């Protein structure tokens, strides 16, 4: 059994306690270590050149640095890159890099992060939901996705594009891993580390009561809500576990959610052909959007193997959008990326497991 401590899973105060109480070192060593781990993306103690050799040897005896290992990489023709990552206990999770070009012409990347191994919510349209729930991820595993992706970009891209935005929209429900989510957000904001601002981070939830208010009051991230349906009846069909918190109660909580100047929450709406893309659905969605300070992302469903659902036709999708715009609702159709590499959450892991079992 490994009794060493993985420093990647320690928040700043925890690291300071380890440095001063376990290693009996001066407090300033904390800032040095933190900077090497998070700002410089260091993978081993030996590379920490401004730390004395004896101190590095003590670190080797008491601690280690672990980040998720790349099991498989799939790259789309549109530049989207999906990783299957192996955690320390052998569990597999996914993260995705989505490229874009900034106004200055430089490459920018948005990374989609997972927070749980699998997911307990069981949404009927979601590949991750079919995998079931295994466990929560630690802070080191959550942010290790960023570390691994940064290292990959440095090795494979001469121009070294910047991971500019982070979206907690991968495998799992972030608010069901609230303690490690908040710990991750605090670490992301630390000025001596990754130094992300709140406007560069979005946390997506399907609507979990516990932790929602605290997330808003923290001012650590923007909020996205996976709405996907405008009625409680369809919510119960598509999102059976999330629907236990009634849609009306969720909307009431969102009306009270802490938003700052110029800030709007995002409503994510997965448009499924013949299920939630009717004129009646659009009318109900208008009522919801009129109650909230929000923008609406319309996401066309990706056809997946053995799914009972289908993508909306392009014509119906445009008609649905027009009905919303006609009522002055800010609705944007989000172009699906990575369709040729199973970029929907859980698809890559599911395909990998099937292929492994056949082998």
What residue ranges do the domains of the chain occupy? 5-64, 69-358
Long-range contacts for 243-247 (Cβ within 8 Å, ≥24 apart)? 245/207, 245/208, 245/209, 247/207
The Cα 179–Cα 289 span in angstroms is 30
Contacts of 84 (CB under 8 A, 6+ apart): 70, 71, 72, 73, 74, 92, 93, 94, 348, 349, 352
289 is annotated as an active-site residue:
no
The Cα 193–Cα 128 span in angstroms is 31
Contact assessment for residue 176 and residue 186, using Cβ atoms and an 8 Å cutoff: no
The confidence score (pLDDT) of residue 338 equals 61
Considering 112, 206, 289, 345, which one is annotated as catalytic?
345
Binding residue numbers for S-adenosyl-L-methionine = 172-173, 204, 226-228, 302
Q: For 120, which DSSP code?
A: S
345 is annotated as an active-site residue:
yes
The confidence score (pLDDT) of residue 356 equals 55
Around 41, how many Cα atoms within 13 Å sit in the side-chain half-sphere? 15
3-state secondary structure of 89: coil
Please provide the distance, in angstroms rounded to a whole number, between the alpha carbons at the two ends of the chain: 31
Q: What are the residue ranges in the chain where pLDDT is below 70?
A: 1-2, 101-106, 336-359
3-state secondary structure of 11: coil
pTM (predicted TM-score):
0.92
Please tell us whether the domain made up of 69-358 is placed in CATH 3.20.20.70: yes
Q: How far is CA 149 from the centre of its chain?
A: 13
Q: How far is CA 192 from the centre of its chain?
A: 22
Q: How far is CA 213 from the centre of its chain?
A: 19
Does the CA dihedral 150-127-216-187 come out positive or negative? negative
pLDDT digits (tens, 9 = 90+) for 63-112: 999 999 999 999 998 889 999 999 999 999 999 999 976 555 567 899 99
Considering 94, 141, 321, 342, which one is annotated as catalytic?
94
Binding residue numbers for [4Fe-4S] cluster = 119, 123, 126
Please tell us whether the domain made up of 5-64 is placed in CATH 1.10.150.530: yes
**From start to end of 246-347, where are the E strands?**
265-271, 294-300, 331-333
The confidence score (pLDDT) of residue 351 equals 56
């Amino acid at each position: 059994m490994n009794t060493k401590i993985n420093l990647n899973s320690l928040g700043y105060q925890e690291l300071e306690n380890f440095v001063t109480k376990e290693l009996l070192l001066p407090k300033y060593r904390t800032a040095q270590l933190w900077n090497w781990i998070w700002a410089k993306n260091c993978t081993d103690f030996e590379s920490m050149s401004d730390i004395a050799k004896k101190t590095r040897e003590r670190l080797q005896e008491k601690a280690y640095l672990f980040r998720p290992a790349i099991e498989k990489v799939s790259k789309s023709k549109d530049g989207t890159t999906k990783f299957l990552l192996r955690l320390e206990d052998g569990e597999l999770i996914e993260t995705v890099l989505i490229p874009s070009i900034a106004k200055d012409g430089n490459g920018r990347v948005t990374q989609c992060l997972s927070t749980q191994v699998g997911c307990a919510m069981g949404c009927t349209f979601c590949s991750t939901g079919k995998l079931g729930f295994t466990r929560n991820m630690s802070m080191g595993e959550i942010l290790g996705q960023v570390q691994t992706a940064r290292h990959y970009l440095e090795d494979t891209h001469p121009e070294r594009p910047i991971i500019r935005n982070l979206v907690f929209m991968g495998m799992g429900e972030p608010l069901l891993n609230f303690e490690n989510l908040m710990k991750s957000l605090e670490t992301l904001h630390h000025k001596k580390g990754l130094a992300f601002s709140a406007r560069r981070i979005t946390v997506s939830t399907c609507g979990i009561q516990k932790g929602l208010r605290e997330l808003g009051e923290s001012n650590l991230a923007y909020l996205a809500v996976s709405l996907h349906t405008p009625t409680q009846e369809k919510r119960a069909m598509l999102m059976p576990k999330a629907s236990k918190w009634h849609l009306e109660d969720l909307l009431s909580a969102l009306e009270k959610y802490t938003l700052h100047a110029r800030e709007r929450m995002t409503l994510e709406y997965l448009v499924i052909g013949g299920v939630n893309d009717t004129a009646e659905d659009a009318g109900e969605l208008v009522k919801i959007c009129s109650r909230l300070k929000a923008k609406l992302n319309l996401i066309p469903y990706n056809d997946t193997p053995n799914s009972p659902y289908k993508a909306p036709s392009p014509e119906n999708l445009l008609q649905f959008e027009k009905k919303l715009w006609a009522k002055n609702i800010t609705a944007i159709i989000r172009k699906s990326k990575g369709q040729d590499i199973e970029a929907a959450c859980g698809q890559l892991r599911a395909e990998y497991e099937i292929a492994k079992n056949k082998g």
